[in-house]
Amino acid sequence: MVSYSAPLDDIRFVLYDLLDYDGAVASLPGYEEASRDLVDTVIEEGAKFCENELLPLNRSGDEEGCTFENGVVRTPKGFKELYEAFCEGGWNGLALSPDHGGQGLPKTLQFVLTELICSTNLSFGMYPGLTHGACNALELHGSEAQKTTYLPNMIHGRWTGTMCLTEPHCGTDLGLIRTKADPNGNGSYKITGTKIFISAGEHDMSENIVHLVLAKLPDAPEGSKGISLFIVPKFLVKDDGSVGPRNGVACGSIEHKMGIKASSTCVMNFDEAEGYLVGEPHTGMAKMFTMMNVARLDVGMQGLGLAETAYQSAAAYAKERLQGRSLAGPQHPDKAADPIIVHPDVRKNLLTMKAYNEGSRALAFWVAMAVDIAEKHPDEKKRQEADDLVALMTPIIKSFFTDQGFENTNLGVQVFGGHGYIREWGMEQLVRDARIAQIYEGANGIQALDLVGRKLGQNMGRLLRRFFHPVQAFIEDNQSDPQMAEFVAPLAKILSRLQQSTLWIAQQGLKDPEEAGAAATDYLNLFALTALAYMWARMVKVSLAASNGEIPEFHEAKLATARFFFQRLLPKSSGLFAAIMAGKAPLMEMKEAAF
């Protein structure tokens, strides 16, 4: 069994001390009641539920997995009851609209809850996570009748939701989809086609499943501009809102996967299933991106959540496992050997995990608050600025957090040594569960292309200013502070490299798109390191201000972790910068036959 306790002290530090939750979020219209006291209560109760209810079923759910027989998918033992308790506790509708039964709390709290869920039972979290995304899409794009019909039951959890995009012959290139939608003549459509890799596409935890399906009308233009979005329920809904007859949608099989085995990943067959158009025809991609962008941020939190559990488990093990003696001489002469935490390489692994986790948490919650500001701030300019930041950081959070989540879970296995490779310790499950996050909701290479191909040049570089300007302002405000010098100087250096790389990609990419493509992943990682350096420098400033001459243990640990990040991890930026500036030639000159 892995070790996990919700990192509430760090969550509070980031929300309140670093990011000023009260001033940034609780002051927004509609969030006045979401005070610090309420937030503390919510995250404390959420932590208890995740630690006491979700975590105990994580390993058994992985070992049992989902089963499929005669078109019926059954989730592992205890999952149905767990889901009922989750919904009854109000967790399903935490940040969803109160107009349809949600609690209407800030999206920032949803980010916190998502991390806790992913740390304790990622497979379980897939079911409410998909529903949450579907609700967001319907709230923004559905008609009033569609909202009234579907949202109350989905928000409560009686019904769940999915997103049906991928087909056997197309994943990223959705313009190739073949699922068709033929008008019935009564305002509904016959949906026919096959979708694959559909998370929570079929299961036994809710009385209905509401599929959001991409399909093409008979007169659809070619490519992605011809895609429309449809609601296709598993069971048709009667006029009184109750569940009616079975629709023409069925699960053909479930995938046997490397990880997240308690999450049903389905092949879904639509055989003239009755569906209902969401919004205008041929606008489905834009509407689905509403759901996908939320999902991409959620997937980033999956990487962070698993990495946090890996760190806590590895740190606990390293303090207990006795092997060898410290290179500086015995640290526990009364014992047969010293705990492995005395060894430099073990400490390097643990500090790498800790530094990335805490830096990522700060970055994630900064963006989470921007999500709330973009939705609720009374000033249109402030809303636009916040929305720009979210758009810019979404591919970075999705890609970097999941890459590092996989790396950190592997480091956790390394700390455990041979025991980490054995199932009963729980560490190898974290690795298997983490791997998919680098692939779904847009593989990480696609996220990098989104960053350099769409976000950098969008609105003449306006999105970039939402990051570059506050970082530059922080550097200028703190560069003369001697206590901050060891942190501000490397931050200024990496920001300069990021700016140089941005200019180089912009110039070279205009002449040759392959140059931008070749640099994309290294550029995204350079951007992510810069963002984490900025967050770590800000955390240092807060911790120094909290010391009052004597540094409390919590802040002392923050400063030590910050020094490790700046001195041992940030230097990776030099290699990334060099790789970017090397251009496409090392990648593209190789003839295809030579691979």
Active-site residues, by number, are 441
Distances (CA, A) of 518 to 241, 454, 560, 585: 52, 15, 36, 9
Q: At what angle do helices 553-564 and 513-545 cross, to 10 degrees?
A: 150
**DSSP states along 227-241:** -EEEEEESEEE-TTS
Tokens of 439: 């692939």
Position 47, amino acid: A
Tokens of 160: 């769940």
Tokens of 202: 């079929």
**DSSP states along 162-196:** EEE--BTTBSS-GGG---EEEE-SSS-EEEEEEEE
Report the C-alpha gap between 546 and 130 in whole angstroms. Answer: 40
**DSSP states along 467-536:** HHHHHHHHHHHHTT-GGGHHHHHHHHHHHHHHHHHHHHHHHHHHH-HHHHHHHHHHHHHHHHHHHHHHHH
Report the C-alpha gap between 225 and 284 in whole angstroms. Answer: 8
Distance of CA 204 to the CA centre of its chain: 25
Q: What is the DSSP letter of 20?
A: -
Count of C-beta atoms within a 10 Å radius of residue 27: 14
Where helices occur in 282-342 by DSSP H, the ranges are: 284-320
**Rounded to the nearest 5 degrees, what angle is found at the Cα of 259, between the Cα atoms of 256 and 261?**
60
Q: What is the DSSP letter of 247?
A: P
Count of C-beta atoms within a 10 Å radius of residue 299: 28
Strand partners, 230: 213, 277
Q: Does residue 31 sit in helix, strand or coil?
A: coil
Report the C-alpha gap between 134 and 193 in whole angstroms. Answer: 20
Tokens of 264: 């049903």
**Environment class of residue 171 by beta-carbon count within 10 Å: exposed (0-12), middle (13-18) or buried (19+)?**
middle
Report the C-alpha gap between 490 and 473 in whole angstroms. Answer: 15
Give the torsion sign (CA, 563, 568, 569, 573): positive
Answer yes or no: are the C-beta atoms of 110 and 94 closer than 8 Å: yes
Which distant-in-sequence residues (6+ apart) come within 8 Å of 413 by Cβ? Answer: 310, 420, 421, 427, 428, 430, 431
